[in-house]
Amino acid sequence: MTDSPATIEAAFEAGVNFFFISADLHWPLYEATRKGLERLLRGSRARREQIVVGVVSYFEEPWFGYLQFWEVIDAVPGLQRVDLLIAGGVSSASSFNERTAVLRGARAKHYLGARAIGASLHRRKLAVKVERNRLLDISYIRYNAGHPGARRDVFPQLRGKHRALLFNFKSMTLGYTPGGSAKPQKSHGRWVPELTDCYRFVLSAPEIDGLLCSPRSPKQVRGLIEALAKGPLSPEEQDAMIRFYSRADGSDEP
């Protein structure tokens, strides 16, 4: 998600080639993303095969969910296909089985051009089961400094076992929004993390292959790239972020 189509172009120029779009109830939030992809694909700016586009549908009725995939194709001239079909907001095994069975059939037939399928998994036990049994090409989980439970419930179960990609779908916590300064901050003698430190925190976990992010402008894209170039946070910095956010939020999802 972004506020400006130019952000999508800036991201591509910075080396980002994977773009995530939601339809249905989230449609207005992705208007600038859709326009940015259209501008990217217009003319010779980017060839379609240079980017990967994942579309997520949150509708529980599996067949009805295909409407959201078609909506995105129709809304972005030049898109032509969806590379990754994603079931969003999966919180039970029964929902997972029903919805992803349809997506697996679509992948087998390359329906809408799909080459891979995924799901955002809102229960850690389900995420472990899905990953250990290699049921998807990509799984999305929630992991951030305010909700670090995947450290205990997910990561130890996957080490050396999972083959699917594991991405993070929420690197921020609702309890606190960090400052925007590029310089380290201190509050009452304590370190206050920057916004970009939240992304570095997630990618410091070796089990995480990638994450979704929502830079609002080309300037934020540049700031994110510069921050990620610094590499992982130290274990001490990660623990400090967890302590900081636990004071601001104090909650964790199951």
Q: Are strands 185-187 and 190-192 parallel, antiparallel or unpaired?
A: antiparallel
Helix axis angle for 5-13 and 218-228, nearest 10°, is 30
| Of 120, 249, 147, 241, nearest in space to 191 by CA | 241
Give, in order, the Cα–Cα distances in Å from 98 to each of 8, 65, 70. Answer: 33, 12, 20
Beta partners for 53? Answer: 19
pLDDT in tens, 202-226: 999 999 999 999 999 999 999 999 9
What is the pLDDT confidence band of residue 245, given thresholds at 50, 70 and 90?
Answer: confident
pLDDT in tens, 113-158: 999 999 999 999 999 999 988 899 999 999 999 899 999 999 999 8
What is the pLDDT confidence band of residue 247, given thresholds at 50, 70 and 90?
Answer: low
The most distant pair of C-alpha atoms in the chain lies apart, rounded to whole Å, by 59
pLDDT at 70: 92
pLDDT in tens, 169-178: 988 775 544 4
pLDDT in tens, 184-193: 455 555 667 7
What is the pLDDT confidence band of residue 2, given thresholds at 50, 70 and 90?
Answer: very high
Q: Which residues of 55-77 are buried (b: 16+ CB within 10 A; e: fewer)?
A: bbbbbeebeebbebbebbbebbe
Overall size of the chain counted in residues: 254
**Looking at domain 5-248, which of 3.20.20.100, 3.90.1150.10, 1.20.1250.20, 3.40.50.850 is its CATH number?**
3.20.20.100
